[in-house]
Structure 1
């Protein structure tokens, strides 16, 4: 139960590490996030791929001991909670819900948690397929369906591990602007929460219009995921492969400010990005967001975006800059959202890997210890 000014570190948590029938149909029998991770190959000189796990191995989230080990590891290194991505598409349709349901029944998974409703339609082109077809549609079916969703969430909200702020369960919404009856949705969830002994819902937006977030008292925060694009666009050049063609394209693209994302990976420099990063809190509901690394070539191949030169030392600098600025803020929520705990196919993780071991986590612990 958070009701003070202590800074808490929360990390997004991806549950796509167990097979489901839908993934079997779309990508092949037995598909999990590891399928793409193990197939990754270097795309240019000194490109580090594949990025492979160490301590926890190629885990299966159907195994309870895996979540128990993740919980202990995260808590040992200063992570205060996981933000589980939740895929609810309306009309009782969920995907990848089993790890959270299993965690709810397992008291040995001690780390606090909350949900981020990842409310978007899945399309093949976004997930590494060559076609733009809709795989599963996000639907908004109105009050009766929202009530059913709340009732599904209620046992999680009531769990003592669920993250609450002033007796309000924290609930993230990925694409706030996509909800056609947003006011009704927020009002209904608040009413249902109050009728079940809470003081409402602590709603947090991810992607969404800042003016909408600011204007609605029902919303308590907005995750600053724009830091990712800020670091992306502030860089002054696009790095391509070391071929002659790549060098020529680089000069042309630098002059014309073009990219060929569909033909070559879009490669940026994490070191340059961190050096140029000017941490800003755009409004009083702004929640700091940070990321240690990014390389989604395992999933997207030549269509990927890669931050080269991401190291634990630079990650610590990024985190330190953000925490230092957060300490100066009077009214903003005292959370730092880390993207992410285990998005391995995006090269975006804190879990130990073969190259850096526990160093990503050590950076978190060192910064966290300095906060206390």
Structure 2
């Protein structure tokens, strides 16, 4: 690993191998279907965009070998896989299990999981994506289901030799804290469940468990989450035993329907606020952009403007400066993302900027 651990989120939907994905993308190529069929929504709209590598199957180990080489060469040395569990079983694990973990050069790249435990509606299905109020799958789980999930994660993923650790503890990120708490039945029950998860991880031979919280517009305080908040006290990360916090997307921090460099100013203020208000370390996050119009037939408002590689490079420099100014914590930076094409926030090369985003990242983080 280099001086910095640059961790890019991976959206594992660019394959048709999970049969449940056919309900959203019946062409059998995963969400590449929405990328391939995307159209311009207004004059000057930068869509449609095309991947320079083509509509590749990212559950193919030969494809992932190529992507690992490109990532590492440009300074990305950790993948954070979005990981799903719905209706009692995993969803979209193919890219990780059949692609990344079967790649011959997987040892060059660390990985860890972000449990994307959000509810699912029709956003992924362009035919029905405006039906936002219809829930297909619930992200919350009860204690019995939680324990099934954790055992799978420990014994299938934590044990992998290239699973990312901090101080001997495998890192596991949770996306929707409120949904986790609701499913487990409150704060006290959630703390007990997370403590059990940590104990099981230790029993498996690890030093501990590094739980990472995903912030949505700042780290939430206990106030207002449930009736147990009054006796719990303190901030929620400390109370529940989280080890760190980061973000997933700029869209969770501020209004993104404006110039990228204006967004960066708000992002930096948010980092400062989190640093002041919470005891657990914050790992800086940079998003490449936002425009999820490929998922909708009509115009979807909210588009990041002027997020050229040169502009995004300033975000990478901002994250590097934050890491350098916090020498007592690991130099981890999270990036959205490696391949979120339908949200227009990706590092993979396209026909608009080529390898521009990857080259910008390399200029900031790659040690020669």
TM over 0.5: yes
Measured in 2, the distance between the counterparts of 1:46 and 1:271 equals 20
Contact 2:191 2:239 in 1 (8 A): no
SS at match of 1:310: coil
| Alpha-carbon distance in 2 for matches of 1:226, 1:52 | 22
Tell me what 1:360 maps to.
Answer: 357
Q: Note the alpha carbon deviations across 1:99-122, whole angstroms, 9 max, x for none.
A: 211233444333110000000110
1:49 alignment counterpart: 47
Question: What residue number does 1:147 align with?
Answer: 147
Does 2:186 correspond to 1:188? Answer: no
Of 5-14 and 114-123, more deviation after overlay is shown by: 5-14
Q: What do the CA deviations read for 1:107-152 (whole angstroms, capped 9, x no partner)?
A: 433311000000011011576423232222224121x333322232
TM (normalized to structure 1)? 0.82
Aligned-pair distance for 1:220? 1.0
Corresponding residue SS for 1:286: coil
Query: Which protein has the larger Cα radius of gyration, Structure 1 or Structure 2?
Result: 1
Contact 2:65 2:104 in 1 (8 A): no
Q: Residue 133 of structure 1 corresponds to which residue in structure 2?
A: 134
Shift in Å, 1:12: 0.2
2:246 is the alignment partner of 1:273: no
Query: 1:294–1:306: 8 Å Cα contact kept in structure 2?
Result: yes
Pick closer, same or farther for the CA change 1:318–1:160 going to 2, 3 Å. same
Q: Which residue of 2 aligns with 1:94?
A: 90
Trace 1:183-222 onto structure 2 (pairs within 5 A). Answer: 183-207=191-215, 209-211=219-221, 212-216=235-239, 218-222=241-245
Q: CA RMSD in A?
A: 2.4
Greater shift, 106-115 or 67-76, is seen at: 106-115
Match of 1:232 among 225, 239, 255: 255
Residues 17-26 or 65-74, more deviating = 17-26
Q: Normalising by structure 2, what TM-score?
A: 0.82
- Correspondences of 1:1-372 after superposition (within 5 Å): 6-19=3-16, 20-30=18-28, 32-54=30-52, 56-89=53-86, 91=88, 93-102=89-98, 103-110=100-107, 111-125=109-123, 128=126, 129-131=129-131, 132-142=133-143, 144-153=144-153, 154-180=155-181, 181=184, 182-207=190-215, 209-211=219-221, 212-216=235-239, 218-225=241-248, 227-232=250-255, 267-274=257-264, 278-279=268-269, 280-281=271-272, 282-283=274-275, 284-300=280-296, 301-369=298-366
Q: Is the 8 A contact 1:293 1:307 kept in 2?
A: yes
Distance 1:168 1:288, change over 3 A: same
Distance 1:226 1:42 in 2: 24
Deviation at 1:217, TM superposition (A): 6.7
Gaps of 5+ in 1: 234-266
Partner secondary structure for residue 136 of structure 1: coil
Rounded to whole Å, the distance in 2 between the matches of 1:136 and 1:229 is 22
Structure 1 position 351, deviation (Å): 0.6
Structure 1 distance, partners of 2:29, 2:56, is 13
User: Take 1:363 and 1:333, find their aligned partners in 2: how far apart are those partners?
Assistant: 22
Cα separation, partners in 2 of 1:63 and 1:359, compared to 1, 3 Å = same
Larger CA deviation: 336-345 vs 224-233:
224-233
